[in-house]
Amino acid sequence: MTTDQIHWLSATELAAAYACGGLSPMDVTRTMLDRIAAVDGCHSGFETVAADQAMAAAKVATEEIAQGNIRSPLHGVPIAVKDLYDTAQLRTAAGTRMLRDNVPDRDATVMARLNAAGAVLLGKLKMTEGACSLHHPDVAPPLNPWGHEYWPGASSSGSGVATAGGYCFASLGSETVCSIRYPSALCGLVGLKPTNGRVSRAGVFALAGTLDHVGPMTRTVADAAAMLAVIAGVDDRDPSALSAPVPDYTAELARGVAGLRIGYDPAFNSHRVKPAITAAVEAAIAVLADQGAEIVEIKVPDCTAALMAAAITLHAGIAHAHRDYFPIHKDDYGPELRQYVEVGQTIAGADVAAAEEQRRLWSGQLRHLFAGIDLMISPTTTFTESVMAERPAGPANFLKERVLAPLRFTFPYAFSGHPAMTLPAGFADTGMPIAIQFTGPHLGESDIIRAGHAFQSATNWHLQHPATD
């Protein structure tokens, strides 16, 4: 790889180059900042570029690595994060206008952990307003580097665009419905939504607290494993963070899939799904079977009731999250987020209670499903691409079947808190990425990582990059 292609290295490859003295964090960080200044305007992924802070962190990392003091696999690796993570002395607006002057005095827990690991923060990435579906009308939306006419996904839009476009080596997204997995799938990335509570949400702007997840968006499974290992774990600032020990996720990469029981439901994977996606899932099954995985045919429980319950929980959660801002700052809201809040304010307590009961039932159904398998393979999306001009331009809400139906591979598992990972598995005729997904039982990230890495070790879909140079 030539020096002008450094940005296409994986974070793991970059760390190896640092260790052998082939590259330095200062040189790489400067290269990335120059690239952002020269090219990111074409894709508009960054909300804020923190050049001075990044170079200062890179200088420290360069000195420490030269002394053999390597903090983690992310030491000296330039990353970026979605603009809803509190960053001390750096604006955090969460895609809103009401927080446009918000400069936190303390880092979110995950940011503190990334800083302690020696990662270099390049800046904050654009996102949809308040982590809903659309960007605030005042914001120029990020553009998918694989094709500007196609939707890059939401709400971690900038995270998908910047990571896929080679403007950072990895990023943090967040997910409540599909916001890690959709941008990752549509931009050709690995997106890992961990078990609910596996990663602390302290210092993270909420969309709907009981549904929100924090997770990495990367170009390889190995990078996602390294990032999760850094950010996961118990946190005194977030009592909902799980106390379960954090495994060495990077050690799972070498284990392969021999003996791993992978479930698939042919009807679930193909119903109203683009044939190219179903074919990609079937091809992935063959790859994993060749490596010794045990493929088990299953029947996924009907998620219709879970989807509607999740939508009720989402809207009620949005109204609660905005209780200090709405309607005081109503004029700062875009039309979509405003309607989400207003719909949430109309939901009765009895409906929320019924939704929570449905969450308990749905989680129980999945517990029985995963009793016979280690993980499940499926599509991530029902479609291979979505034309930007066809995206809804006005307010909407999730309490509609037409909105919920395409989300059946993502939203039900955010609702139940199960871990899931999307990864690239091909390309459509339009040249846009196709994705597959692994979903596992609670705290089943290790097996998901095993399967994902095994698939990437046998394929090269993740090595393809959009023409952004």
User: Within a domain: residue 46?
Assistant: yes
Sheet holding 294-297, edge to edge: 46-49, 120-125, 78-82, 170-175, 213-218, 190-193, 420-427, 433-439, 375-379, 261-264, 294-297
Judge whether 164 lies within some domain. Answer: yes
What distance in Å separates the CA atoms of residue 2 and residue 296, rounded to the nearest whole number?
44
Residue 469: inside a domain: no
Q: Is 457 a catalytic residue?
A: no
Catalytic residue among 155, 156, 157, 446: 155
CA-to-CA distance for 147 and 389, rounded, in angstroms? 13
What pLDDT score does 1 carry? 46
The letter for the amino acid at 204 is V
The answer as to whether 468 is a domain residue is no
Question: Per-residue confidence at 289, pLDDT binned at 50, 70, 90?
Answer: very high
Nearest to 449 by CA among 218, 163, 156, 177: 218
Question: What would the pLDDT profile of 48-98 be if each residue is shown by its tens digit?
Answer: 999 999 999 999 999 999 999 999 999 999 999 999 999 999 999 999 999
DSSP, res 249: G
Query: What's the rounded Cα separation, in Å, for the pair 465 and 469?
Result: 10
Q: Which of 10, 82, 133, 446 is catalytic?
A: 82
| Distance in angstroms (rounded) separating the CA atoms of residues 96 and 83 | 10
Whether residue 366 lies inside any domain: the answer is yes
Q: How many domains does the chain have?
A: 1
pLDDT digits (tens, 9 = 90+) for 314-358: 999 999 999 999 999 999 999 999 999 999 999 999 999 999 999
The domain in which residue 16 lies consists of: 3-463
| pLDDT above 90: residue 395 | no
What distance in Å separates the CA atoms of residue 352 and residue 38, rounded to the nearest whole number? 49
Annotated catalytic residue 126: no
Q: Any catalytic annotation for residue 179?
A: yes
- For residue 142, report the phi and psi dihedrals to the nearest 5 degrees: -60, 150
Comparing 390 with 6, the larger pLDDT belongs to: 6
pLDDT of residue 397: 80
pLDDT (tens digit, 9 = 90+) per residue, 182-239? 999 999 999 999 999 999 999 999 999 999 999 999 999 999 999 999 999 999 999 9
What residues contact 251, with CB distance under 8 A and at least 6 apart? Answer: none
Confidence of residue 41 (pLDDT cuts 50, 70, 90): very high
53: helix, strand or coil? helix
Residue 195 lies in a domain: yes
- Whole-number CA gyration radius for the chain: 21
Q: Which residues contact 20 (CB under 8 A, 6 or more apart)?
A: none
Percent of the chain with pLDDT over 90: 95
- From CA 261, how far away is CA 450, in angstroms rounded? 12
Q: What is the pLDDT of residues 134-144, one digit of tens each?
A: 999 999 999 99
Q: Is residue 421 part of a domain?
A: yes
Per-residue model confidence (pLDDT) at position 401: 84
Give the type of residue at 320: H
Residue 458 lies in a domain: yes
Helix (H) or strand (E) holding 215: strand 213-218
Please identify which of the residues 174, 179, 200, 378 carries the catalytic annotation: 179
Q: What is the CATH number of the domain that holds 414?
A: 3.90.1300.10
